[in-house]
Amino acid sequence: ATSGEESDVVVLGGGPGGYVAAIKAAQLGLKTTCIEKRGTLGGTCLNVGCIPSKVLSTWFSRGYGESLSILVFCLVPAMYLELIVQASCALLHSSHMYHEAKTSFAHHGVKISNLEVDLPAMMAQKDKAVAGLTKGIEGLFKKNKVTYVKGFGKLASPSEVSVDLIDGGSTVVKGKNIIIATGSDVKSLPGITIDEKKIVSSTGALCLSEIPKKLVVIGAGYIGLEMGSVWNRLGSEVTVVEFAPDIVPSMDGEIRKQFQRMLEKQKMKFMLKTKVVGVDTSGDGVKLTVEPAAGGEQSILEADIVLVSAGRTPYTAGIGLETIGVETDKAGRILVDKRFMTNVNGVFAIGDAIPGPMLAHKAEEDGVACVEFIAGKEGHVDYDTVPGVVYTHPEVASVGKTEEQVKGEGIAYRVGKFPLLANSRAKAIDDAEGLVKVVADKETDKILGVHIMAPNAGEIIHEAVLALQYGASSEDVARTCHAHPTVSEALKEACLQTFSKAIHI
């Protein structure tokens, strides 16, 4: 859209929130324009977040990150060779095959040797996956007739965005409704300058050219642990420094303890209740001065690379909010009502730029609901049932309330737990580290929260999400037939355990 042509909806930002909102708006018959400054669609998630990190972590999950192309099998049954050949067509699938081969095939007399890391090849594969996916969204824009404007947009009025175009020049895009979907950016820490060389953000950690011998991760949240475990599996000595007494504070306490133990077993080190008070990059590597969070004796931590993973901050400065008077909170998040409208009529905001979990799927849900409201329909997002997944191996996934939250709210509750050691599928694939924990209301048996540490927990959790969404009881899930042998049976058993007794323990 050039100056003069008015869209029904103008979306500022082409991340998971923005591009999904744009496609949905077009599907609902609204003339739609999306403005993106990056030059590629998909936002943080596709370009420097969920997708590239998952490519890496999947390659290296369970600690085997070596290039598939140089696998040498002795005694490989023909069937498995065929699988490996097919697998090379798709990275995620091939890495899955590889893990299966590495972890399970030994029992079947299949040996693997001569494995080595081919970092450039792996990075190239990651870039290819990202490029393919971002181009795919451009294709969807074309298919749905969404106008795509490449440039940096600034709100000029409640119905106008002025855009500095990537290819030079500028334009004004007019819209009856504007959706701000500018997402978030890396949060730095006071006194620490991210140079993306020795001191990197998650973006820099996704494209290191060498495997660091020593990596220090500042911050034990989801992203720090995922990135830390990727490089740990590749051979880096990883130390995670965290100010708080626990890793991932939002996680259920019992699951968190097991999770930390599991990461320690994988040789990641943790310095909790510790703060970084000084950084020296003058030598070859980095020297970090750390001390106990409560104060005390200082010590020096040496690293080749330091990853700052202290959270993300909404990207809302410098985009013209003040020009039209859009209100934000102290953290810079745009304040919206239930319809995602800001205090300025016709101006909406979604995704990481507003309060709520900073997750791609939440941003997408926001985007859909927001345009449904704009189109005069009802939209709905239930933030209480947004799942969270840590893509380590095993994965840790959760939805709803933790036991600590339920206790804190004074709700009478029951807990059902089932260890993966008692699950036949997990045992069969020799991947039985973890558990499923269900928290249910003592009176009504309604499921309040589900927490899973298991292989593919990020897939299994959706049964629990659906259960919470529809207000199911643990008995409802326990009486639902689950295919055998599957890891999902552990969820059924944990549900049984909340109101009765599991069969297999």
Which parts of this chain interact with ligand FAD (CB under 6 A)?
A: 12-18, 35-38, 43-45, 49-50, 53, 152-153, 181-184, 202, 223, 315, 319, 351-353, 358-361, 363, 391
Among residues 144, 137, 132, 139, which one has the least CA distance to residue 16?
137
The nearer residue to ligand FAD, 122 or 358, going by C-beta atoms, is: 358
Whether residue 311 is annotated as binding a ligand: the answer is yes
Q: What is the DSSP letter of 187?
A: P
Q: What are phi and psi of 363, to 5 degrees?
A: -60, -40
Q: How far is the CB of 163 from ligand FAD (least distance, A)?
A: 7
Nearer to ligand FAD, 290 or 310 (CB): 310
The answer to whether residues 178 and 12 touch, using CB atoms and an 8 Å cutoff, is yes
Whose Cβ is closer to ligand FAD: residue 16's or residue 419's? 16
Q: Comparing C-alpha atoms, which of 205, 264, 238, 226 is closest to residue 388?
A: 226
Determine whether the annotation assigns residue 199 to a binding site. Answer: no
226 is in an annotated binding site: yes
| 205 vs 494 by CB, closer to ligand FAD | 205
Residue 242 marked as a ligand binder: yes
The rounded Cα 407 to chain-centroid distance in angstroms is 27
CB 176 within 8 A of CB 363: no
Q: Smallest gap, in angstroms, from Cβ of residue 361 to ligand FAD?
A: 5
Residue 428 among known ligand-binding residues: no
DSSP code for 251: S
Vertex 304, ends 264 and 236: CA angle to 5°? 35
- CB 246 → ligand FAD: shortest distance, Å? 20
Q: Which of 490, 413, 405 is nearest to 452 (CA)?
A: 490
Options 108, 380, 484, 504, the catalytic residue: 484
CB of 52 to ligand FAD, least distance (A): 8
119 is in an annotated binding site: no
Closest separation in Å from C-beta 170 to ligand FAD: 12
Active site residue 484: yes
Name the token pair of 385: 């049932």
Non-local CB neighbours of 452 within 8 Å, separated by 6+ positions: 255, 395, 396, 397, 398, 434, 435, 436, 437, 460, 461, 464, 490, 491
221 among annotated binding-site residues = yes
Q: Which is nearer to ligand FAD, 185 or 254 (CB)?
A: 185
Report the alpha-carbon distance of residue 42 to residue 24 in Å, rounded: 15
**SS3 label, residue 238:** strand
- Mind telling me the catalytic residues? 484
Numbered residues of the known binding site: 54, 153, 182-184, 219-226, 242, 311, 352, 358-361
| Binding-site positions for NAD(+) | 219-226, 242, 311
**Known binding residues for FAD:** 54, 153, 182-184, 352, 358-361
